Amino acid sequence: MKQVQDYIRTIPDFPHEGIMFRDVTTLFADPRGFRLAIDQMLHPYVGIQIDKVVGLEARGFILGGAIAHQLSVGFVPIRKQGKLPGKTISQAYTLEYGEAVMELHDDAIQPGEKILVVDDLLATGGTAEASIKLIERLGGEIVSCAFIIDLPALGGRKKLETMGMDVSVLCEFEGE
């Protein structure tokens, strides 16, 4: 029986030489693979109160929307700077090649709401950390952060756990 990682394609030297890019589009394109990933990501949260699922741009939108649907809760996107039309709050974070900014509508999360953060890949944890800070600024309480892939060598999981976050991943790949 195929596992989630069996549906994920590896593309060498993308976007830079020496990077082994873990491409989840092949997972999303396969109906069995996609269902398997969503079901496995949902499993730890059955019976736990979650008010909203927050998906991180961009592949987190695909996963987060499907998970929110299955949980019968709302979905909230966190986007790159300048992409949301309403009033937003912003959080800068560091990338290996510079800095970026994530934004969240300032009315998307109400104080005390239980939030599940979803994305496809956990690498250094910068995007997730910025997103957590945005959610907490609005008073959201993060139940967990769920990812398909963890790249343990890059330390993202450790960073999030040091922040007090529960982290769930479906598979790990070595290297970058």
C-alpha to C-alpha distance for 83 and 106, rounded to whole angstroms: 14
> Which amino acid, 120?
D
Whether 20 is covered by a domain: the verdict is no
C-alpha to C-alpha distance for 23 and 42, rounded to whole angstroms: 21
Is pLDDT at 88 greater than 80 in this prediction? yes
Whether 36 is covered by a domain: the verdict is no
Whether 22 is covered by a domain: the verdict is no
pLDDT at residue number 153: 94
Whether 43 is covered by a domain: the verdict is no
pLDDT band at 176; cut points 50, 70, 90: low
Whether 52 is covered by a domain: the verdict is yes
- For residues 131-156, b (16+ Cβ closer than 10 Å) or e, as one string? bbbbbeebebebbbbbbbbbbeebeb
Whether 97 is covered by a domain: the verdict is yes
pLDDT band at 95; cut points 50, 70, 90: confident
- CATH code, 68: 3.40.50.2020
Q: Is 161 in the active site?
A: no
26 and 9 Cβ atoms separated by less than 8 Å: yes
**The total number of structural domains that make up the chain:** 1
Q: Is 141 in the active site?
A: no
Residue 159 in 3-state DSSP? Answer: helix
Alpha carbon distances (Å) from 108 to 74, 88, 135, 176: 10, 9, 9, 33
- Among the listed residues 9, 32, 35, 96, the single catalytic one is 96
Question: How does DSSP classify residue 147?
Answer: E
Domain extent at residue 77: 48-172
C-alpha to C-alpha distance for 102 and 83, rounded to whole angstroms: 9
C-alpha to C-alpha distance for 55 and 5, rounded to whole angstroms: 21
- Among the listed residues 59, 79, 103, 113, the single catalytic one is 59
Is pLDDT at 101 greater than 70 in this prediction? yes
Whether 37 is covered by a domain: the verdict is no
Q: What is the pTM of this model?
A: 0.96
pLDDT at residue number 91: 98
